């Protein structure tokens, strides 16, 4: 596995540490008046999403994790795992629900997604900034209930629940922000 110096860290870089697989969220190189320089980092566990803070000496060597990203198509859920197909060679791979995190709320059968692979194991998924989903359940907007910005709960085809404006009805397609999980607009 390639080594990388703490002086060469970049945001988004993946590291294979003894505690697990981490992505660099933030780093700061500090050179105090006396003593050696050091690097303060904020690292996010790729598998669990937990964020830790670590301090390393300057020029300390860490193992860099090479994450392979492939475009795959989501085929179907299979119990507690999700089945994806590589669009280039039609090979199918299963990913456990935990590896996908909150992305399962935005994936529907037939969708394309960029899958993150480490040593042949699916460790995450990159979604587009917004996805279009169909509203399967919501209460009708009540006439006269016209408070500016009023919202009501809605359930989407993937099972995701969120707040939508009063004018959105069952069967309509809406755009949802995959980063915040909020309603954006009608599709």
- E-only strand ranges, the chain: 3-5, 14-17, 20-30, 38-45, 51-57, 61-63, 68-78, 81-86, 92-96, 112-118, 121-126, 130-138, 151-156, 161-165, 173-177, 183-186
Tens of pLDDT, residue by residue over 61-113, are: 999 999 888 899 999 988 888 999 988 898 998 888 888 878 888 988 888 88
Domain's final residue, options 38, 63, 88 = 63
Which domain CATH number covers 19? 2.30.30.30
Residues of the chain predicted below pLDDT 70:
1, 142-148
Domain's final residue, options 47, 63, 79 = 63
- Looking at the fold, whether 51 and 89 belong to one and the same domain comes out as no
* Whole-number pLDDT of residue 147: 62
- Number of domains composing the chain: 3
* Whole-number pLDDT of residue 143: 61
What one-character DSSP code corresponds to residue 66? -
* Nearest-angstrom CA–CA distance, 102 and 139: 25
Percent of all residues in the chain with a pLDDT value above 70, rounded to a whole number? 96
107 φ, ψ (degrees, to nearest 5): -90, 130
CB atoms within 10 A of CB 125: 23
* Nearest-angstrom CA–CA distance, 8 and 52: 19
* Nearest-angstrom CA–CA distance, 107 and 129: 13
* Whole-number pLDDT of residue 145: 58
- Looking at the fold, whether 13 and 44 belong to one and the same domain comes out as yes
- Looking at the fold, whether 89 and 121 belong to one and the same domain comes out as yes
Percent of all residues in the chain with a pLDDT value above 90, rounded to a whole number? 37
Give the global pTM. Answer: 0.71
- Looking at the fold, whether 36 and 7 belong to one and the same domain comes out as yes
- Looking at the fold, whether 92 and 56 belong to one and the same domain comes out as no
Domain's final residue, options 63, 96, 111 = 63
Domain span at residue 121? 68-126
- Looking at the fold, whether 157 and 116 belong to one and the same domain comes out as no
* Whole-number pLDDT of residue 171: 92
- Looking at the fold, whether 100 and 76 belong to one and the same domain comes out as yes
- Looking at the fold, whether 105 and 137 belong to one and the same domain comes out as no
- Looking at the fold, whether 59 and 7 belong to one and the same domain comes out as yes
Which domain CATH number covers 180? 2.40.50.140
* Whole-number pLDDT of residue 144: 61
* Whole-number pLDDT of residue 16: 92
Asked if 178 and 156 touch (Cβ cutoff 8 Å), the reply is: no
């Amino acid at each position: 596995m390639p080594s990388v110096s703490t002086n060469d860290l970049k945001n988004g870089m993946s590291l294979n540490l003894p505690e697990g697989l981490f992505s660099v969220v933030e780093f700061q190189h500090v050179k105090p008046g006396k003593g050696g320089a050091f690097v303060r980092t904020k690292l996010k566990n790729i598998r669990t999403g937990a964020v830790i803070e670590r301090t390393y000496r300057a020029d300390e060597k860490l193992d860099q994790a090479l994450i392979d990203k492939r475009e795959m198509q989501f085929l179907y859920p299979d119990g507690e795992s999700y089945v994806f197909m590589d669009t280039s060679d039609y090979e199918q791979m299963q990913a456990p629900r935990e590896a996908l995190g909150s992305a399962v709320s935005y994936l529907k059968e037939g969708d394309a997604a960029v899958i993150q692979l480490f040593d042949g194991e699916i460790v995450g998924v990159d979604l587009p900034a917004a996805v279009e989903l169909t509203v399967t359940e919501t209460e009708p907007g009540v006439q006269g209930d016209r408070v500016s910005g009023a919202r009501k709960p809605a359930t989407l085809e993937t099972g995701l629940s969120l707040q939508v404006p009063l004018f959105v009805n069952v069967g309509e397609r809406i755009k949802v922000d995959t980063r915040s999980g909020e309603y954006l607009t009608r599709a």
